[in-house]
A and B are shown apart, each in its own frame.
Chain A
């Protein structure tokens, strides 16, 4: 066991905390602009506003008035949560934390002038910019599919209406029909997400359409929590689920949304629902800002600042940081490190060494919850995993039920941590 007595502060005795608002360096209140009000951005905005007690001016740019979480959206598909319980608005961030919430799209970043341009016109100046725009889909990743096909073949990989559409399609499937998922290649948001979705679709179908089939077309050799999912699928859903991997040509898949067919390495199948989850990249604004290298935006592991620009920080799915999975939990954890660093740069507040953590819960069937998680530390090169754990196969039902209950507690806590 590692010794972990961290006297990093060196000032424990003298460290009688100076309470109250941190002092700002310079004259006018420094300005922080946060783009994206999701897991990373909402958390960062809230922590910067709260910890600075008004000494820092925080603007949050987010086009939607209500954010529907992707986390727990599979439970909605499984009929275990209603959509309203997944929706969160920005009222408290504005009224209690004094955050200037602007419902608009950021369409450009002028890094020399340090301004963010808005779709509605005008621009917002910043001293520090935080980008947490989430993901976009890579064009041409699944031949035959593009965003114009998302009604016929939903991705349901951004929250809200796409999730509702997919559940409606599952419920409307003909008796004995086929639900197909084209799973994404690595890296993508929420590694166990597609497989939790399969579990929840199987749960619904086993109740309303028990002769239906589920087909996963997966370009990856293996996936997160695979042994746990496979054990659970066997136990709860018998032979309903079939997975075609790269050994059968799954990486060579195309779709025809008009015909509702899927072509797997030359073999054409008719399907009733086709959930296409394409390959992903950082949200467009990160590319427009010119801070990406390939698909993602590389960051410094110690504080989530961009490797390309010290005045920009990138959080969550868009960041290329190392070992942390692209999850809401990770984005929330990274946001706190970023908030502390931003406050340290703009005010006299103390900067603490980064610490990151993540836990991802997944539901295999009602009351059958599993989890995987780790703690992380920054190294020069990346955010590196230090200690980790994963649920075991063959666990008692009481353990799984308790794990599910934990996930409910986590959902309530993290959404409060994001939105106040």
Chain B
């Protein structure tokens, strides 16, 4: 199993605009999920998300409170890599590193 880290993975994937290597992405997600999650940091970071992501489903922005941690990590990694496209989310995800993604996933998966 090759561990490359999110930044290296993004650098490898983005210039070529190639489809990300599934195994590498999968390993990266697993690595992030294995990080110790700092939920206080997650709560702080989450305050950036709640300007748009509310509780309840009005309009075209999904609720992310209560989503499984693995889903949140996967989505943020995909935005980081450009495998999933959305201008706002890609801009936001660009400045999230592994610790930030782990903290956010821990926070939102426990939020209601």
Contacts of B91 in A (CB 8 A): 357, 373-375, 387-389
Q: Using A7-B99, A352-B41, A357-B48 as known contacts, say yes or no to A410 and B61 having CB atoms under 8 A apart.
A: yes
**Does A28 sit within 8 A of B, measured CB to CB?**
no
Of B17-25, B32-40, B67-75, the stretch lying at the interface with chain A is: B32-40
Tell me which of B47, B52, B94, B99 contacts A2 (CB under 8 A): B94
Contact check, A3 vs B7: say whether CB atoms are below 8 A apart.
Answer: yes
Contacts of B44 in A (CB 8 A): 340, 350, 352
Contacts of B11 in A (CB 8 A): 1
Tell me which of A371, A389, A412, A417 contacts B59 (CB under 8 A): A412
Would you give the shortest CB distance from A56 to chain B, in whole angstroms? Answer: 17
How many residues of chain B get a CB closer than 8 Å to chain A's CBs?
Answer: 39
In the bound complex, CA of A340 to CA of B47 (Å)? 10
**Does B88 sit within 8 A of A, measured CB to CB?**
yes
Tell me which of A9, A374, A404, A412 contacts B54 (CB under 8 A): A412
In the bound complex, CA of A7 to CA of B14 (Å)? 24
- 0/1 string, A1-15, CB within 8 A of B gives 1: 111111101001101
A residues near B (Cβ < 8 Å) are 1-7, 9, 12-13, 15, 17-18, 47, 329, 332-333, 336, 340, 350, 352, 355, 357, 359, 371, 373-375, 386-389, 391, 402, 404-414, 416-417
Known: A5-B99, A350-B40. 10 other contacts (CB 8 A): A1-B11, A4-B94, A12-B38, A15-B41, A373-B91, A409-B53, A409-B54, A412-B59, A414-B52, A416-B54
B residues near A (Cβ < 8 Å) are 5-7, 10-11, 14, 35-36, 38-41, 44-45, 47-48, 50-56, 58-61, 87-88, 90-92, 94-100
Report the 3 A-B pairs with minimum CB-CB distance, sorted nearest first: A405-B60, A408-B59, A409-B61
